[in-house]
Structure 1
Amino acid sequence: MPQQSADTPVTSPGVSVWATAQSAPASQRKHRYTPDSTAHPAKMLPAVAAHAITHYTRPGELVLDPMCGIGTTLVEALDAGRGAVGVEYEPHWVRTARGNVELAHDSGAPESGEVYSGDARRLPALLPTDYRGQVSLVVTSPPYGPSAHGQVITTNNVVQKFHHRYGNTLDRGNLANIGHHRLLAGFTRILTALRPFMKPGGHIAITARPWREHAELIDLPAQILACGTHAGLIPTERCVALLARVTDTELIARGSFFQRDFIRKQRESGLPLHLIAHEDVLIFRAPPHTDPATTPHDHTPYATDKTLDPTP
C-alpha cells in the first residue's frame, strides 16, 4: 500500500496486506517494553501499530489509543517520533503503560506521551480540552473478553491458565466483562466520543478478529464496522495484518497453546478449522468538520448502552 500522510484523502475502500509478523512478538517487544508487559492477555502486535502509524501520520503528529492496555500504540508512536496519549481502565495496566512510555522516553523518544486512567466511554471528561481537534490517528482494538487465551503452566499433567483476564476481578466497568452486545454498544460510545478529539479527516485504525462463542462464529470485524458507521465515522479501507510469518512458499502461523489445542479438538470432532493467521484492520476517517452542536456529551448512564447496539 502506498504510504499516506494524514493529509492524503482516501476516496474509496482499499485492500492491503500488512506483513507484521515476520519476527516473533517477543522479539518485537524485546528491550522496548517492561517485563510485566508480557502478562497482558491481548496485546496488540507492535508491528501492527507501527505500520498504521507510519502510513497514516507524519512525525510530530499526535496518536491516541482510548483502550491502550500496556501502551503498545503509545510506544510505537513515540519511537516513530509522534506524540502519544492513551486511556486505560485497569489500574495495573495504567502503571504498566506509563512504565513503557517512560522507557521510550529514556530511549530518546523526542515527543511527549501521556497515559490517563479511566473509562474511555467517559473520554470527554478524562482528556484535557487541549487535545480536542489535535489527534491525527487512533489505533486501538476492542477487548476480546473470554476469548483471550493468556498463558499456561502444566503441573502434574494438569494444564492451568493464567494471565487470561484483563483484571484480577470481573469488574463490570470493564468492557471485557459485560457481554458481547453491550461490549459493542460501549465501543460505539467510545468511537463517538473520539470525534471531537480528531483532526478533520484524521484516521482511526481498529484491529479485530472473529472468535467462536459456543461453537458459533462471531464476525467481530463486521460488527465493529457497524459500530464505526453508527458513530459517524467514514469507512475507507479494510486491511489484513498478518499474524503469521511469510516465507517464499507458505504462511507459518504463530498460534498460542490454547489456540492450537482448540483447533486440534475441533478437527477431532470433524470441524476443519485452521489457526488464525491475520487480523482485520478497519480504517475509518473522521468527518471533515465537527459541528460543535452535535459533539457528544457524556451524560448517558451505562444502562442505556443497549440503545447504541448496532446489531439486531
Structure 2
Amino acid sequence: MTERPESSWPLPLPPREEPSVPPLSVWPTGQRDPAAQLRDSGCVPGTDADTDRIPPAVAAFAIATYTRPGDLVLDPDCGAGTVLVEALRAGRHALGLTAHTRWWTLARANITAAKAAGAWRDGSVLNALPKVLATVRAAGWVGRVGLVLTALRTAPDDAKDRGSGPDGDLESAIAELAATQLYCEPLLRSGGHLAVVARPQRHPDGSLADLTTPLVAAATTARLTLVDRCVALTAELRGSRLVTRASLAERRAAARTRAAGAPTALIAHHEVLVFQLAHDAELAATAAADTPWPAEGELIRRAANGVEYSGWRRAG
C-alpha cells in the first residue's frame, strides 16, 4: 500500500496565535421521550432492545445538519437501524452494516417500514462487519458517502470478542471504532463528515471515562480532523431547566451509587464528535483566512492504494 503524499497545508499560524477550538453546540434532541421518538419514526417493536442505538432525534438532527437531500448516509455498525430510518425519512440514501443477526433482522424490518410509510430513497443493510468497507466490495462507495454516522457501542454481543469487565468492554469498543473510522475514511466524498455519538460512560469506581481523547486520537490516525464537538440532549429542555428522561433502573443505580458516597448524575446528553477529511478541513480553514486555493486541476487527495479518484479533486 503506497503512502499518500504529505500536504504542505495548513499554513503556519501567525506568532502567538493559538489554533481555533471546534465550537461547542447544544442540540435540543430530548424534547420527546425515547419511546415516543421510536413511535414517531415508525420503528418496529423490539428496536428499543438496542441500548446503544442513536436516538432518532439525534440521528435526524445530525443528518439535517451535515447532509443534503440525495446524499448517502452510512452507519457501519447500525444496530437496529435508527440512523437508516431517519436517513430515509429525510430523503437520503441509507446503508448500514451489522454482524449481529438480531440487529440485522430489526434493521431490515425498520427499512421496510420506512419505505412502506413513503420513504422513496434506497436503503439497505448488510450482514457484515465494518471491515468489509476496506475490501473490493466497497469500491463502488469510494468518495460517495456524505455522512458516516455511528455510535460507540459498548454493550457486548455474540458478534464481538470483548475484554472482561466494564473497562475492558470500553477499551475494546474504542479500538473497534478506531478501525471502523480507518475503513470509512476513503468512502467520504469531498466535504463529507464522519460523526460519532457516544453516551457518557463510567468506570467501575463511578468516575466518568474520558471518551473524547481516544476517539479524537483514533480519528487523527485515520486522517480525519475534528470540526465540531456537540452535546445532543437526551433530557427535555423546559425553559432554563433540564428534565432527565432516565429509566427507573438508571435512577435506582444512581441512588445506590450516591448512597455509597460517590456523587452520580443522571445522564442528560450524548456527546457528538464530528470529523472531516483532513484536507477538506485544511482547505476550509484556508478559505476562511482568505488564502488562495490550489489550481483547478491540482490533486487534493490520493486513495490509500495509490489510485486517483475524480471525486477526490476540489469541486469547481
* TM-score, normalised relative to structure 1: 0.78
Answer yes or no: is the 8 Å Cα contact 1:241–1:280 preserved in 2.
yes
**Does residue 261 in structure 1 map to residue 252 in structure 2?**
yes
Rounded Cα–Cα distance in structure 2 between residues aligned with 1:120 and 1:82: 21
- Identify the range of structure 1 (245-254 vs 116-125) with the bigger mean alpha-carbon deviation: 116-125
Unpaired runs of 5+ in structure 2? 1-19, 281-299, 308-316
Rounded Cα–Cα distance in structure 2 between residues aligned with 1:13 and 1:140: 20
SS of equivalent residue, structure 1 residue 17: strand
Among candidates 77, 102, 127, match of residue 67 of structure 1: 77
**Does residue 119 in structure 1 map to residue 110 in structure 2?**
no
Tell me the equivalent position of 1:236.
Answer: 227
**Does residue 23 in structure 1 map to residue 14 in structure 2?**
no
Answer yes or no: is the 8 Å Cα contact 1:137–1:205 preserved in 2.
yes
Aligned length: 264
Among candidates 210, 219, 230, match of residue 210 of structure 2: 219
In the TM superposition, 1:78-157 aligns within 5 A as: 78-125=88-135, 127-145=137-155
Rounded Cα–Cα distance in structure 2 between residues aligned with 1:103 and 1:214: 40
How large is the RMSD of aligned CA atoms in angstroms?
2.4
Answer yes or no: is the 8 Å Cα contact 1:21–1:244 preserved in 2.
yes
Rounded Cα–Cα distance in structure 2 between residues aligned with 1:171 and 1:56: 30
Rounded Cα–Cα distance in structure 2 between residues aligned with 1:214 and 1:132: 41
| 1:191-214 deviation line (CA, Å, top 9, x unaligned) | 011011110231111111331121
Rounded Cα–Cα distance in structure 2 between residues aligned with 1:235 and 1:277: 23
Rounded Cα–Cα distance in structure 1 between residues aligned with 2:178 and 2:301: 17
Answer yes or no: is the 8 Å Cα contact 1:121–1:186 preserved in 2.
no
Among candidates 243, 255, 259, match of residue 252 of structure 1: 243
**Does residue 14 in structure 1 map to residue 23 in structure 2?**
yes
| 1:166-218 deviation line (CA, Å, top 9, x unaligned) | 54x474289x9973333322211110110111102311111113311211431
Tell me the equivalent position of 1:198.
Answer: 188
Rounded Cα–Cα distance in structure 2 between residues aligned with 1:295 and 1:265: 56
- Post-superposition shift, 1:61? 0.8
**Does residue 183 in structure 1 map to residue 194 in structure 2?**
no
Answer yes or no: is the 8 Å Cα contact 1:196–1:290 preserved in 2.
no
Query: Compared with structure 1, are the counterparts of its residues 227 and 293 closer, same or farther at alpha carbon in structure 2 (3 Å cutoff)?
Result: closer
Query: Compared with structure 1, are the counterparts of its residues 108 and 83 closer, same or farther at alpha carbon in structure 2 (3 Å cutoff)?
Result: same
Tell me the equivalent position of 1:309.
Answer: none
- Identify the range of structure 1 (193-202 vs 208-217) with the bigger mean alpha-carbon deviation: 208-217
Tell me the equivalent position of 1:162.
Answer: none
Query: Compared with structure 1, are the counterparts of its residues 65 and 275 closer, same or farther at alpha carbon in structure 2 (3 Å cutoff)?
Result: same
- Post-superposition shift, 1:102? 0.8
Counterpart amino acid of residue 53 in structure 1: I
**Does residue 291 in structure 1 map to residue 302 in structure 2?**
yes
Identity over the aligned pairs, expressed in percent?
A: 36
Rounded Cα–Cα distance in structure 2 between residues aligned with 1:253 and 1:79: 27
**Does residue 281 in structure 1 map to residue 277 in structure 2?**
no
Q: State the structure with more CA Rg.
A: 2
Tell me the equivalent position of 1:310.
Answer: none
Query: Compared with structure 1, are the counterparts of its residues 142 and 121 closer, same or farther at alpha carbon in structure 2 (3 Å cutoff)?
Result: farther
Answer yes or no: is the 8 Å Cα contact 1:195–1:290 preserved in 2.
no
SS of equivalent residue, structure 1 residue 42: coil
Counterpart amino acid of residue 180 in structure 1: L
Query: Compared with structure 1, are the counterparts of its residues 127 and 71 closer, same or farther at alpha carbon in structure 2 (3 Å cutoff)?
Result: farther
Answer yes or no: is the 8 Å Cα contact 1:69–1:94 preserved in 2.
yes
- Post-superposition shift, 1:231? 1.5
Counterpart amino acid of residue 19 in structure 1: P
Unpaired runs of 5+ in structure 1? 1-10, 146-165, 297-312
Query: Compared with structure 1, are the counterparts of its residues 170 and 129 closer, same or farther at alpha carbon in structure 2 (3 Å cutoff)?
Result: closer
